[in-house]
Amino acid sequence: MRLTADYSHWVNVAEWYLADQLENVHRAIAVSDQIHCRVGHPQGPQVNDPRAPEWQDALETHARWWDAIRARMQKADMPVLTITCEFGPAGYLPILPYTQQPVASQWDINVFIKEFLKKRWEV
């Protein structure tokens, strides 16, 4: 079975960053061929804005998992790694009360994640 690495939900369901589940995380990384670049946290499947300093640990935790998938695929000479930068769907991004305006731009966050990985991976 092949997986899409959407570990944000794992973090949310476990209610922490899976430090006691490293063996299982590595088993999942070994069969993950697609990365869903959503950054979760122990109380929700998606941080409100991964650019914010209060979410840097969450972003880095997820990025290390993504790095491991990329490294495994490069080592296996797999030519394609697909990535979805998707902070959504509608309803996942927190909104302000009364106005229902999103607290951040979903588009800008998705572009940030894309640029973050391009810089991190020097591609």
Instruction: Provide the 3-class DSSP secondary structure of residue 48.
Output: coil
The model scores a pTM over 0.85: yes
pLDDT in tens, 1-21: 788 999 999 999 999 999 999
pLDDT of residue 25: 95
Cross-strand bridge partners of residue 44: 41
Starting at the edge strand that comes first in sequence, how are the strands of the sheet with 32-36 ordered?
A: 3-5, 32-36, 82-84
